[in-house]
Every structure is written in C-alpha cells, then in structure tokens.
Amino acid sequence: MSSHLAAVPLWAAIVISVLVAVGSGLTLLGAVGLVRLSSFYDRIHAPTLGTSWGTAGIMLGSALMFTLTGDRLVIHELVVGGLMMITTPVTLMILGRAALSRDGGARPSRAGKPAPLQPEPAADTVDEPPVQAG
Amino acid sequence: MSETILTVVLGLSQLCLIAAMLLAAMRLLRGPRAQDRVLSLDALYVCGMLLLVVTGMRVGSAYLFEGALVIGAFGFVSTVALSKFLLRGEVIE
C-alpha cells in the first residue's frame, strides 16, 4: 500500500494512534451527547469535547506524522487548533445569548441566583427571529 | 508494523468521525428549535474538518489540510452570522 505510513517509526506510530483515537473518540462522544441530552442548555456543552481535545489530539497527531515523514518541522496544524480553541467560546457564547433572549430573556438576578429557565416551547412555531424594535 | 497500526487506527478514526457527522445531521434535521440547528451545524462542520485532516494523514497529502483551514474559518463566520441573526433578526445592522 502507501509507503509514507511505513516510514513512520514504531514509537511514533503508537503515539500518533493514541492521539488520533482519543481525538476522534471524543468527537464521537460529543456528537452522541448532542443527540441524547434533553435541553438546549445541556446540549450546548456537548460539542465542545470535539472542539477542545478532539481537535487538539488530531492536529497534534497530524503535525507529528508530517514532521516525521517530511524531513522538516511541520507545525501549521497548530494554526487550525488555535483557531478552534479561540473561536469556539466566542461562537457558543453568542449562540447561548441568542437562545436566552429567544427564551424570554432569563438573566441571572442581582442576588446571584440564576432565574429559573422557562420550559422549552414544544413546537417549531416560534422559529421566526424577533421583530426589530424601533 | 507501523503501517498496519496507522492504517487500522486512521480507518477507525474516519468511521468515528463519519458517525459523529451523521449524529450531528440527525440533530440538525430533528432539533426542535432554530438554535439547536445552528449548534448542530457547528458540530457538523467541526467533524467535517477533522475528517478532512484524518483523510489527509491517511493518503499522505498535505493539500487536504488547506481545505480544513478554509472550513474552520468559514464555519466560524457562518455560525456567528446565524447566531447574530437569531439574536437580532438581521446580520449587519
């Protein structure tokens, strides 16, 4: 078969295999959580498994493999890893705030205790974006 | 020996990522409200990006990585735009 995989030494093959297996397994676990958890505010935590150590494991394994097969240091995978780690909290905070305002704007009260969340509306009837005020 | 290990593990990893993409697509089709669909679209493109990187490792090509970079950048922009649309009702005010 392909010859570039045979050029990887055995210790590096084991390390790369562990990194890639952990990364893809965590991504799959996050997707299972995305399907199985019950409310949106639970589900928003699940895919971050894939964007934190899922991405980091696969990118580290890829960087190690292309460094060992290509005679030079290859670290441009770390760019994508860093991009994921920076952009995911920003994205999910905006999405969480959007969901919170669509659920009726339940904000933490001044006493420090979070206000009780509204129960989720069942149907898709409220799917229009809110009307722009003013 | 290392070729066998890497072939098996990278193949299994591709299968795991495809299963993750299918689960995210299931939530995308079923999700009761719009924010669930946006969240599952986000998870879907992250899984697709990782699948592209693992495929590039398996075939030994460095060019698939650039596709992964583009998916990562545009996925961020699209998710932020969709979230802003849900929050405000329009994207650019």
Residue A85, pLDDT above cutoff 60: yes
- Chain B segment 24-43 residues within 8 A of A by beta carbon are 24, 26-27, 32-36, 38-40, 42-43
* C-beta atoms surrounding A92 within 10 Å: 19
Residue A123, pLDDT above cutoff 60: no
In SS3 terms, chain A reads as CCCCCCCCCHHHHHHHHHHHHHHHHHHHHHHHHHHHCCCHHHHCCCCHHHHHHHHHHHHHHHHHHHHHHCCCCCCCHHHHHHHHHHHHHHHHHHHHHHHHHHCCCCCECCCCCECCCCCCCCCCCCCCCCCCCC
* Separation of alpha carbons B39 and B78, rounded Å: 11
Structure tokens that stand for A62 in this block = 């890829």
Query: If you measure CA to CA, which chain A residue comes closest to B40?
Result: A34
Which whole number is the average pLDDT over A74-84?
Answer: 86
B53 touches A at CB < 8 Å: yes
Q: Mind telling me how many Å the CA of A108 is from chain B's nearest CA?
A: 18
In this prediction, residue A28 carries a pLDDT of 94
**Under a CB-based contact definition with an 8 Å cutoff, are residues B38 and B79 in contact?**
yes
Q: Ranked by mean pLDDT, which of A70-74, A102-106, B3-7, B77-81 comes out on top?
A: B77-81
Whole-complex ipTM: 0.89
**Under a CB-based contact definition with an 8 Å cutoff, are residues A57 and A16 in contact?**
no
Structure tokens that stand for B8 in this block = 């098996």
* Separation of alpha carbons B13 and A16, rounded Å: 12
Distance set, CA B52 to CA A47, A72, B89 (Å): 18, 22, 33
* Separation of alpha carbons A101 and B89, rounded Å: 12
Angle CA(B65)–CA(A89)–CA(B82) in degrees, nearest 5?
80
Residues of chain A positioned with their CB less than 8 A from the CB of B23: 28, 31-32, 34-35
Residue A41, pLDDT above cutoff 70: yes
In this prediction, residue B41 carries a pLDDT of 93
Residues of chain A positioned with their CB less than 8 A from the CB of B6: 5, 8, 13, 16-17, 65
Amino acid at A122: A
In this prediction, residue A117 carries a pLDDT of 61
**Burial class of residue B55, CB neighbours in 10 A (0-12, 13-18, 19+):** middle
Q: Coil, strand, or helix at residue B63?
A: coil
* Separation of alpha carbons B61 and B41, rounded Å: 27
Which whole number is the average pLDDT over A55-72?
Answer: 88
End-to-end CA distance of chain A: 65
B92 touches A at CB < 8 Å: no
Q: What is the pLDDT along chain B (93 residues), one digit of tens a residue?
A: 878 888 899 999 999 999 999 999 999 998 788 889 999 999 999 999 999 999 998 888 878 888 999 999 999 999 999 998 988 877 776
Is A31–B47 a contact, with Cβ atoms under 8 angstroms apart? Answer: yes
Residue A129, pLDDT above cutoff 70: no
In this prediction, residue A69 carries a pLDDT of 84
Q: What is the pTM of this model?
A: 0.82
Is B7–A80 a contact, with Cβ atoms under 8 angstroms apart? Answer: no
In this prediction, residue A127 carries a pLDDT of 56
